[in-house]
Structure 1
Amino acid sequence: MKWDLWLERAKPLVPVIVINDLDDAVPMAQALVDGGVRLLEVTLRTEHGLEAIRLIKREVADAIVGVGTVTNARQLEDALNMGAEFAVSPGISQELLDCARNWGGAYLPGVATPSEVMQARNAGFKYQKFFPAGAAGGIDMLNALSGPFYDVQFCPTGGVGSDNYRRYMSQSNVFAVGGSWLTPKEAVSAQNWQALTALAIAS
């Protein structure tokens, strides 16, 4: 499983990256990688997402580049063509499950309820994104899910930040955590890449 292999050489942190200026993509990614954070989820929340994936894949040698905010099969296919190594969705659909299963790569379907966990697991995906973690019950929900879904591992995102990510990471059914706290807007706007590296090192 790619997640296991990746986590042997990367921190279990997945920054949720929003690219508002394409020129920021490579230096931002390099700053995070320099701090030991290599699993980079570049979201499709702006028009620059796909091109940012291509640039980071080409320019930042040690980055493991994924795509986030994938909501349909076409987006997944486009991101894979740009070099994305993993994919993350905020929710779940049969279309995406089928497309991801045909691809056979590292895909995290977004789940928030037991029924969605079952749907994703039955489709073959035992690594899932728990989103929005805070609003969906947080650590209490993860604890509740750990019983019936003992073989499922989650990456909580949404409401996860510098103040609580270690608590999430301490859960037995959490393999990584995701969030935007590793790319604070103030530092990115100021192109203070050293601040991102320092934050990544400290996390």
Structure 2
Amino acid sequence: EDEVLALVGAGAPGLSVSPQSVVDHADAALVEADDVAVETVLPAAATDLARARTTVGLCATQLGVLERAVERTAEYAREREQFGKPIGSFQAVRHRLADAHLDVEAVRLTLWQAAWRLSEGATGADAAQELATAKYWASEAGHRVAHAAVHLHGGVGIDTDHEIHRHFVAAKRTEFTLGGATAHLRQLGAALA
């Protein structure tokens, strides 16, 4: 069955929006619909294109979040000292940062490939492999980089008021929006099969 995108008026009877409190202080709401009248239903092709463009947008957002998290973590590793030396001088820390950098570059590469396919007029179905690959990397790398940033920051990394925690939460939210890594890996497998 094809997915469709339905537009509903903000003040429609049966629609309720309740503000929610979230750990990173972002705007969030619980939206509940009960027998709501639909104003417009977009055709499946428009829904497909909206999902494809949203996926590329999410991957681009994730790239920015992860790129800045790695930059902040590298700065911290140069400044924070342990045993009289910057923690960035320790081999394990350098390796973790190098892995995070490679993950960011994988997100960048796969994002641009998917964006290019859409810019060339491909539909979401035509670019399904590129979109699934990009979202897989945005999710998988997002998970690894977010955790590496928090771990390398130590105790301050779990402080909900610290910038790196906000990067963590943003990366985790983007990781699961429109499906996580496993869902997109399955889509890629189905497309290849």
TM-score class normalised by the smaller sequence: under 0.3
The structure in which a higher percent of residues are strand is 1
Which protein is richer in helix relative to its size?
Answer: 2
Task: Please give the TM-score of this superposition, normalised by the length of structure 1.
Answer: 0.25
TM-score scaled to structure 2, two decimals? 0.26
